[in-house]
Amino acid sequence: MTTQTNTMTPLHAPRKLKLATVSLAGCFGCHMSFLDIDERLLQLLELVEFDRSPLTDIKTVGRCDIGLIEGGLCNTENVQVLREFRAQCKTLVAVGACAINGGLPAQRNNLDLGVILHSAYAERNGLSKGSAIPNDPELPMMLNQVHPIHEVVHVDYFLPGCPPSADAFWTFLNDLMAGRTPHLGHGLMHYD
């Protein structure tokens, strides 16, 4: 699961670690599981300060110690955000099946993207008259296939699961913050 020696600041360092999270092509289930650490979130907040995250609504990522990435890459904006996280985060973690192998969104990979869009927006029963494939220039371009994040940037650690359990998040982050190589024992490491 681990790919490099950890050089994180020790647990009792004077400054708080900066932590950023993002959901790319994911369902936010990994974030919800993260929040399931419940009251331990208060302990975490004594050690870390959140930067960009759905939890803070900060829109751009600053210099961070840890970046947690939920979701794979299904459009050009996902790729751009991922590259920004990689550039800003000392340690980047692929969280959950979608970030690690594309997950459920990657089930479209054996189908033609044009056929999928046409089927969803032009052919499906119940569509309103004049329905068409969205083409507003502000919308990010979809990629032909959904990709796991390690195909685009270097990933330091992988936290598997769909989603990883709250206890897995807690153990993983505590190891990381303490300067240890994260190790999920029996019962915490799973791929479903």
Residues that bind ligand SF4 (CB under 6 A): 26-27, 29-30, 70-71, 96-98, 103-104, 162-163
Residue type, 70: E
- Percent of residues in the chain assigned helix, strand, coil, to nearest 5: 35, 20, 45
Comparison of 79 and 162: residue with beta carbon closer to ligand SF4: 162
Which tokens belong to 65?
Answer: 């110690």
Which tokens belong to 160?
Answer: 């598997």
Distance CA 114, CA 107 (A): 15
Distances (CA, A) of 107 to 96, 104, 146: 16, 6, 8
Residue number with the smallest Cβ distance to ligand SF4: 29
- Residue 129: CB minimum distance to ligand SF4, A: 34
Helix spans in 56-181 (H): 76-88, 96-101, 113-118, 166-177
- Residue 52: CB minimum distance to ligand SF4, A: 17
